[in-house]
Amino acid sequence: MRRKALHRRAFLRTGAAVALGSPAMAAPAIAQSAPEVRWRMTSSFPKSQETLFGTGQALCAYVAEATDNKFQIQAYATGELATSRQALDVVTSGSVECAHTPLAFHTAKDMTLALGTGMPFGLNARLQQSWWAHGGGGKLVNDALKALRAYGIPAGTTGAQMGGWFKKEINTLEDFKGLRFRINGLGGPIFARLGAVPFEMPHADVVAALDNNAIDGAEFLCPHDDERLGLVKAAKYNYGPCWWESAGMMHLVINLDKWEALPKSYRAVLARACDAVNLGMLARYDAINPPALRRLVAAGATLRQFPQPVLEVCHRATVEHFAEIAAKDAKFKKGMESVTSFLRDHLQWLQASDHAYDALQIALNSRS
């Protein structure tokens, strides 16, 4: 009986922590022989984006808690140690130990990194996780990072994002011609192929640019973040789905020398803390997005789907764009083939499982 009681207490210490999204580590055991380690983490997000920046803060808290404060990481917002797009630079140079950032922000170094975040018309959040862990994705992306002397661990996922906000209706492909659209990331070149004029600008400047007619539309993130930015006040038409941002996976990117120098126990703690916040961010957005969407509609948002012919042209332009890159970049070609194969292998199961069930729930519950 005593042995069973001990087993039960051990399960409660570790199993409950996993269920709550916290790293399951026996902190006192680690603390007895653990060295003091102090790192800095630069985030690609400002403090005002509390879910994104807060995910990095939560990661740091989990690591400290699991090591009895022996291993501490201090989170810094974008601009404090590096700009949003310099996060990987300061990690690879060794001036900062780690960064919390979307790898798609750093494709100028290697287009393969984009696969770690999610591609236009790419894997959804659930498949992105599976591809990374079991489809070879983690190795492909980390091979690219290794060449930069860095190592990446998934540490947050937004899931499907909000569509684009437009000041006018989008009915045909002609409506993209000359349309000035704020978009960051991989979707910009594809919108350019469609005749639009993509703009990259800080999110804080977007509403003013819409109000001043400097741009005609913009995309940002999720209902919660779009509401806080005030996009509905400047452009009421929201068209989805957000095909240009499929998964929204973030990573903790670590200087490779610093990672390899960590004790194995600390590496395990850090990996499990990343697992916790990876799940936690998606759960958080799933909780805060639905009420935000309802408020956006109440504030005047008009939610529409891009017409099917427009989506088909967008998809064709995406395939052509990435084919052109793959023809010049063997690593990117290998990665795209991996993603495409993984997606095709899973479509039938998705259609028979989640897609069928979600469609049923929507049909049944929209009647009441």
Task: Express each pLDDT in 347-360 by its tens digit.
Answer: 999 999 999 999 99
Q: Which CATH superfamily is domain 9-158+247-287 in?
A: Bacterial extracellular solute-binding protein, family 7 (3.40.190.170)
Q: Which residue has the tokens 């069973």?
A: 4
Model pLDDT, residue 13: 39
| pLDDT higher than threshold 60 for residue 2 | no
pLDDT bracket for residue 26 (50, 70, 90) = very low
pLDDT band for position 204 (cuts 50, 70, 90)? confident
User: What pLDDT sits at residue 184?
Assistant: 85
Q: How is residue 142 written in tokens?
A: 């980390």
Q: Which residue has the higher pLDDT, 73 or 31?
A: 73
User: pLDDT digit string (tens) for 49-101?
Assistant: 999 999 999 999 999 999 999 999 999 999 999 999 999 999 999 999 999 99
Tell me the mean pLDDT in the region 306-327. Answer: 97
Work out the mean pLDDT of the chain and round it to a whole number: 91
- Kindly give the residue spans of alpha helices, DSSP state H, lying in the chain: 2-19, 27-33, 50-66, 87-93, 114-117, 125-134, 137-146, 187-193, 206-211, 223-229, 256-261, 264-298, 308-328, 330-352, 354-365
154-175 average pLDDT score: 96
Mean pLDDT confidence for 263-284:
97
pLDDT tier, 368 (very low <50, low <70, confident <90, very high otherwise): low
pLDDT at 12 exceeding the cut of 60: no
pLDDT in the model for residue 23: 47
Written as one string, the DSSP assignment of 162-222 is: --EEESS---SGGGGTT-EEE--STHHHHHHHTT-EEE---GGGHHHHHHTTS-SEE--S-
Please write the tens of the pLDDT for every residue from 130-140.
999 999 999 99
